[in-house]
């Protein structure tokens, strides 16, 4: 088990000033960086979201150039990173992603989120109380302007809708990718985890353990709820190309969501 993992530190280390950046990145044609990790990471949690602004993050909204988010879908208010749709009249498949600036290979990722409010009119039924974080993603620069989702692995966040309807979170979805799951090639787009269902607007903490191109794990409440390994691309450009690193991005899919913590540390083997 991962002991004392979910206890907040009395003093949080923020990314700016806590980590030394050495940007010397080389990208493959598919947008997945091939060079080794180029910035220093420690065994202590460092915050990728600083609680004040979106420094280090870049939006990519379907139909718009990289960096353009004219409706302020992604914003910072009250110390939270919020995904909001009050600037939209309706949702017209304007899926969005907010990318962290650096591709990473081996790390632990800790995220705290909650769903709030109601889904925007026009959002697809499956996107109600649905969001996620993309890992091992292609770069935002390599995405097509009308591309819905980056080629990546999605740690899917779902919120419960009805008390009698199970709806796990920390699931796995695979846009443009596949993995080995339970010793077999997994072609299903989304696969449920073993987590419980979280109703209403409660905060949920998810731990993702990313060991490069080897095994990846999703944890909730010190419980391993999803594991898979050997991710690879399945699109026409680079069929069966193995993925060992990539970018991190959070989603906008038509339902409001808050993030109060996005933290990272050096990959640690589970005990």
Contact 28, 34 (CB under 8 A): yes
For residue 33, what pLDDT is reported?
52
Nearest CA among 79, 94, 86, 81 for reference residue 118: 86
User: What pLDDT, on a 0 to 100 scale, did the predictor assign at position 260?
Assistant: 98
Residue 243 confidence (pLDDT) above 70:
yes
Mean predicted lDDT score pLDDT of the chain: 87
d(CA 111, CA 6): 10
In DSSP terms, 224 is beta-bridged to 219
At residue 35, does pLDDT exceed 60? no
Segment 87-114 mean pLDDT? 97
Mean pLDDT (whole number) for 162-187: 95
- How far is residue 165's CA from residue 177's CA, in Å, rounded to a whole number? 29
For the residues 35-62, what does the mean pLDDT come to?
86
Half-sphere exposure at residue 140, Cβ-oriented, CA atoms within 13 angstroms = 23
Which residue's structure tokens are 């990546």? 152
> Is the four-CA dihedral 136, 167, 108, 1 of positive or negative sign?
negative
Q: How much is the pLDDT for 9?
A: 44
In this predicted structure, the answer to whether residue 236 has a pLDDT above a threshold of 60 is: no
pLDDT for the residue numbered 5:
39
Q: Band the pLDDT of 17: cuts 50, 70, 90.
A: very low
Q: Which pLDDT value is given to residue 118?
A: 97
pLDDT at 269: 82
Question: Which residue matches tokens 């589970």?
Answer: 270
Q: Distance from first CA to last CA of the chain, Å, rounded?
A: 5
Tokens coding 118: 């109601």
Q: If you count DSSP H runs as helices and E runs as strands, how many of each does the chain have, helices first?
A: 1, 18
**Average pLDDT for 139-158:** 97
How many Å apart are CA 52 and CA 260, to the nearest integer? 11
Sign of CA dihedral 226, 134, 77, 10: positive
Residue 34 has pLDDT above 50, yes or no: no
**pLDDT given at position 261:** 98
Kindly indicate the confidence band of residue 144, based on its pLDDT and cuts at 50, 70 and 90: very high
pLDDT (average), residues 228-247: 83
Instruction: Please give the sequence-ordered ranges of beta strands (E in DSSP) within 62-193, or none if there are none.
Output: 74-77, 80-83, 96-100, 106-115, 130-137, 153-158, 171-173, 177-181, 184-186, 190-191
Given a cut of 60, whether residue 161 has pLDDT beyond it is yes
Q: What is the pLDDT of residue 41?
A: 81
Instruction: State the pTM of this model.
Output: 0.86
């Amino acid at each position: 088990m991962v002991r004392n993992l979910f206890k907040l530190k009395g003093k949080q280390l923020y990314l700016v000033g806590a980590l030394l950046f050495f940007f010397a990145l080389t990208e493959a044609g598919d947008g997945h960086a091939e060079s080794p990790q180029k910035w220093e990471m420690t065994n202590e949690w460092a915050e990728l979201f600083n609680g004040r602004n979106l420094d280090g993050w870049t939006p990519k909204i379907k139909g718009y150039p990289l960096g353009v988010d004219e409706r302020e879908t992604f914003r910072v208010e009250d110390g939270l990173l919020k995904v909001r749709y009050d600037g939209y009249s309706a949702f017209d498949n304007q899926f969005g992603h907010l990318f962290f600036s650096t591709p990473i290979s081996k790390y632990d990722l800790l995220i705290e989120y909650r769903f709030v409010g109601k889904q925007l009119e026009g959002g697809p039924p499956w996107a109600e109380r649905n969001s996620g974080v993309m890992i091992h993603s292609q770069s935002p620069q390599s995405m097509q302007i009308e591309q819905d989702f980056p080629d990546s692995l999605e740690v899917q966040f779902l919120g419960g809708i009805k008390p009698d309807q199970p709806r796990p979170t920390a699931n796995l979805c695979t846009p443009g990718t596949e993995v080995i799951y339970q010793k077999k090639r997994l072609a299903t787009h989304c696969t449920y985890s073993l987590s419980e269902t979280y109703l209403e607007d409660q905060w949920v903490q998810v731990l993702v353990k990313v060991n490069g191109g080897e095994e990846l794990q999703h944890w909730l409440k010190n419980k391993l709820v999803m594991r898979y390994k050997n991710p690879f691309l399945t699109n026409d450009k680079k069929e069966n190309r193995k993925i060992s690193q990539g970018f991190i991005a959070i989603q906008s899919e038509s339902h409001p969501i808050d993030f109060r913590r996005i933290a990272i540390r050096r990959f640690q083997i589970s005990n």
